[in-house]
Amino acid sequence: MRKQLLTIVSISLTVLLMYLVISSVGLDELITAVRNANPLFILLAFLWAQLLNLPGVFKLQGLLRAQRYRVPFFYLFRVYHIGVFFNHFLPSNVGGDFVRAYEIGKTTHDPATSLAAVFVERLTGFMVLVIFAVIALVTRIALVENPLLTLAVLGVTFGLIMIVWLAVDKRLIVWFERVLPKPLHKYLAKFGKFQTSLYRYQNQPRALLRALWWSLLFNAGAIVYSWLTALAFHQPISLLDVATIIPLTMVVAIVPLSFNGIGLQEWAFVLLFPLIGVPASVGLSAMLTIRLITLSTALLGGVFYLHKQFRREAAIA
> Does a structural domain hold residue 6?
no
Residue 2 pLDDT > 80: no
> Does a structural domain hold residue 255?
yes
Q: Look at the chain and report how many structural domains it folds into.
A: 1
> Does a structural domain hold residue 87?
yes
> CA 127, CA 209: separation in Å to the nearest integer?
12
> Does a structural domain hold residue 22?
no
Alpha carbon 147 to chain centroid, angstroms: 23
Q: Model confidence over 52-106: pLDDT tens digits?
A: 999 999 999 999 999 999 999 999 999 999 998 988 877 666 678 888 999 999 8
Q: Residue 151, Cβ neighbours under 10 Å: how many?
A: 11
> Does a structural domain hold residue 59?
yes
Region label for 263, one of left (φ > 0), alpha (ψ between -120 and 50) or beta (otherwise): left
> Does a structural domain hold residue 13?
no
> Does a structural domain hold residue 51?
yes
Cα distances (angstroms) measured from residue 84 to each of 33, 58, 213: 29, 15, 21
Q: Model confidence over 119-161: pLDDT tens digits?
A: 999 999 999 999 998 888 787 765 566 777 778 888 888 888 8
> Does a structural domain hold residue 173?
yes
Are residues 269 and 248 in contact, defined by beta-carbon separation less than 8 angstroms? Answer: no
> CA 155, CA 94: separation in Å to the nearest integer?
17
Are residues 201 and 66 in contact, defined by beta-carbon separation less than 8 angstroms? Answer: yes
Residue 176 pLDDT > 80: no
Give the per-residue pLDDT at 255: 83
Residue 307, domain extent? 37-312
